[in-house]
Amino acid sequence: MADSYDAVVVGSGPNGLAAAIVIAQAGKSVAVFEANESAGGGVRSAELTLPGYVHDLCSSVYPLAVGSPFFAALPLGEHGLEWIQPGAALAHPLDDGTAILLERSVEATANALGVDGVAYRKIFAPLTAQWNELGKDILGPPRWPRHPVNFARFGLQAMQPARRFAERSFRDSRTRALFAGVAAHSMLPLESWGSTAFGLVLTVTAHALGWPLASGGAQKLTDALISYLRSLGGEVFLNQPVRRLEELPACRVTLCDVTPRQLLRIAGPGLSPVYWNRLKQYRYGMGAFKIDWALARPVPWTAQECSRAATVHLGGTLDEIAASERAAWRGYQARKPFVLLVQPSLFDSSRAPQGKHTLWAYCHVPNNSHLDASERIEAQIERFAPGFRDTVLVRHLSPPHELERRNANLVGGDIGGGAPTLGQLFFRPTRQLYSTSKKGLYLCSSSTPPGAGVHGMCGYFAAQKALREMF
């Protein structure tokens, strides 16, 4: 380790690594300090259950990584990254034993939606065609959009509550349920303003980009980013929890891939009282309760088409999903929680021994909830896949406090780096976005725009700003 660097990055999540790469690409020296024994934050894999079973500790499905203008410009393929595209992006099983599929093509999806086919096509065909331009505005910080007409058209729909948008746009309860499940990725009640944005963006990415997995597991994406960073001269140090900024080597710029609560701790008295107070008011969102399973065989879905998608949403109807999200937001655990499930080994045989499988699922729970949600999650899987419990070899539970223990950014189990309420959707964590009150100190985590998801754009924009201002 050198005595000084041009820039130091605290935290090696996708945003921390993106920030380090931008700095290294500019010819500056950079080192990343990571608290954990493995790099990657929300993009890591490990044998959580049994030897030979590779589980993604957090994220698994990467439309935003494929759609990230920054990641797309990096030679990650040359550094070992390969994407796997499942046949369909998403399956949403229903109680009548059928499932609706979010297919790669708008046309194929619309054709299966009966009375809503025309409405679906009308909403999603133009947005999908415009993704290349729209995506740049959506995955950027708040600024005058490059394509104002398209963006305004998108924004008018996107700002609505998802329940209202689904009920006004679609007549069939199946289509409404499909949209509600995608919008619930927002981790907002579906009655909240802005929740439609998540449903629209993620549905469009399914058509424009697919919802791919990283071959070999999430860690391969982190490994590729680190391998490229090292090829530029960047360094990564593990097992280095940063408690105070003063512990770091001398540097002109510090980029923190942490959330406001940790910044208060590590930057402490160096921050102005006004900025300190603003960070103190930052609001965290719902938590997640995650389970990883090693399975003896694939999940026995009643609707067999569920095996065509890596991602499966278990929540039945719009009303049920809305009730689940409302409950978690208000501090209760729903009896029938909306469950987001990923079955990677169906598409990637390297994840488990031959014939065996890995699976993960989580539901939203109140922030920092200590209730065991595992029974309720498994009951939801059994509902659409009777006999599921007989396939389980080992289960590994990650309640909110365990998620936070493994990654301090997951405050109370909040996987989004802070609630994406209207006030915090664009201007997060404060109106200063990446800058702090201390010269040379920047935030670059998902607590800055464009927010949660594996895209690296928070790190990219923070590092661009630091380069402009400090070098």
Ligand X SMILES: Cc1cc2nc3c(=O)[nH]c(=O)nc-3n(C[C@H](O)[C@H](O)[C@H](O)COP(=O)(O)OP(=O)(O)OC[C@H]3O[C@@H](n4cnc5c(N)ncnc54)[C@H](O)[C@@H]3O)c2cc1C
Chain residues binding ligand X by CB under 6 A are 10-16, 33-36, 41-43, 58-62, 64, 241-242, 257-258, 262, 266, 288, 290, 362, 403, 407-410, 415, 417, 445-446, 452-454, 458
Q: Copy the structure tokens of residue 186.
A: 């927002």
Q: How far is the CB of 32 from ligand X (least distance, A)?
A: 9
Which residues make Cβ contacts (< 8 Å) with residue 307, sequence separation at least 6? 298, 299, 301, 343, 346
Q: How far is CA 375 from CA 225, 261, 395, in A?
A: 37, 32, 12
CA 170/CA 158 separation, integer angstroms: 15
Q: How far is the CB of 407 from ligand X (least distance, A)?
A: 5
Cβ neighbours, 10 Å, residue 117: 16
Q: How far is the CB of 262 from ligand X (least distance, A)?
A: 5
CA 372/CA 38 separation, integer angstroms: 27
Q: Among residues 174 and 217, whose Cβ is nearest to ligand X?
A: 217
Q: How far is the CB of 121 from ligand X (least distance, A)?
A: 27
Q: Among residues 169 and 333, whose Cβ is nearest to ligand X?
A: 333
Q: Among residues 41 and 194, whose Cβ is nearest to ligand X?
A: 41
Q: Among residues 36 and 391, whose Cβ is nearest to ligand X?
A: 36
Q: Copy the structure tokens of residue 38.
A: 């493995």
Contact status, residue 23 vs residue 232, Cβ threshold 8 Å: no
Q: How far is the CB of 370 from ligand X (least distance, A)?
A: 17
Q: What are phi and psi of 435, to 5 degrees?
A: -75, 155
Q: Among residues 392 and 408, whose Cβ is nearest to ligand X?
A: 408
Q: How far is the CB of 218 from ligand X (least distance, A)?
A: 8
Report helix, strand or coil for 346: helix
The half-sphere exposure of 341 on its side-chain side, counting CA atoms within 13 A, is: 28
Instruction: Give the orientation angle of helix 195-208 with respect to helix 148-158, to 10 degrees.
Output: 120
CA 342/CA 309 separation, integer angstroms: 9
Q: What are phi and psi of 73, to 5 degrees?
A: -85, -5
Q: Among residues 136 and 153, whose Cβ is nearest to ligand X?
A: 136
Q: Among residues 112 and 141, whose Cβ is nearest to ligand X?
A: 141
Q: How far is the CB of 152 from ligand X (least distance, A)?
A: 26
